[in-house]
Structure 1
Amino acid sequence: MSVSVDIQIASECQGIPPTEQFSQWAAAAVYGHKTIAELSIRVIDETESAALNFAYRQKQGPTNVLSFPAELPEAVELPLLGDLAICAPVVLREAAEQNKSLEAHWAHMVIHGTLHLLGFDHINDKDAEIMESLETKILMELDYPNPYQPSESL
């Protein structure tokens, strides 16, 4: 399996993991779905996240992760999955509010976003159950806790 991840750090926020971890988490999400994949991850601040969230989802304010699946014509056979935009300050704040380790929450955001690029979604309850199960399985295989169970204080 070959997963190529282009990582852009456009945030001065503290607590951003090393780029190697982003690649590891994305590869774990892709495993079993594609043999070759390419994606980009851009780590951003709240201003950029809010602008993207409004432009593409018509929602106010920043959000933790936005997924932009590649929309290639059927005749074009490239391994490009798409792009993720992850808001560092939101991830930092959510980890603290939810009593999660920062590393585990970053892993969850990368895996969650990558699964969206692979076509998974959580629009309805059935799809949400499938996606959350897969996220939990991948995270636990990487020795992170279930992100959907309440955490004990760190």
Structure 2
Amino acid sequence: MIKRSLLLFTVMGFLFSSCSISKSARAQRNLFSGTWNLDNVYYENNTGNFKSVIFNDAEDICFEDSEWFFRDNNSTGRYTIAQSSLCQGGDRFFRWSVVEPQQSYQSQLQFKFIDDKRKDISGGYGYRLNIVNLSEQSMTLKSNVSVDGTPVTVVYEFSKK
């Protein structure tokens, strides 16, 4: 009986530890928590002028000065785009997480769109952005895309509100 109980506690401990996030990911989640302003969107690794639709939602210019809110206790958030002649304004809701680095990669912000009732509306698809810088005051995220077969990096610079 004692051996059985010990085995059960060992298995339960392993399951709980494998499902929890690391201290590093928890620290990053805490830094994300709150309201951010997306100050700048620009492109690296290529020359010329770019115009793109970001997150299959809106043109890049619509995201500049958008407000992003991350709630770490339930992994939900939203970003708000201002209404203009070029931009369909409003709130977009998402579920997010921090993905731990695999081998030599950096941590990533992962998110997918949900509705205001927290139901998945993205068909299981989502986005991952590399976390280049994350502090209490600023954040830089990057995503790698391909334009006519040439790699381009989209850079997102945020400041904490």
TM-score by length of 1: 0.30
In proportion to residue count, which structure has more strand? 2
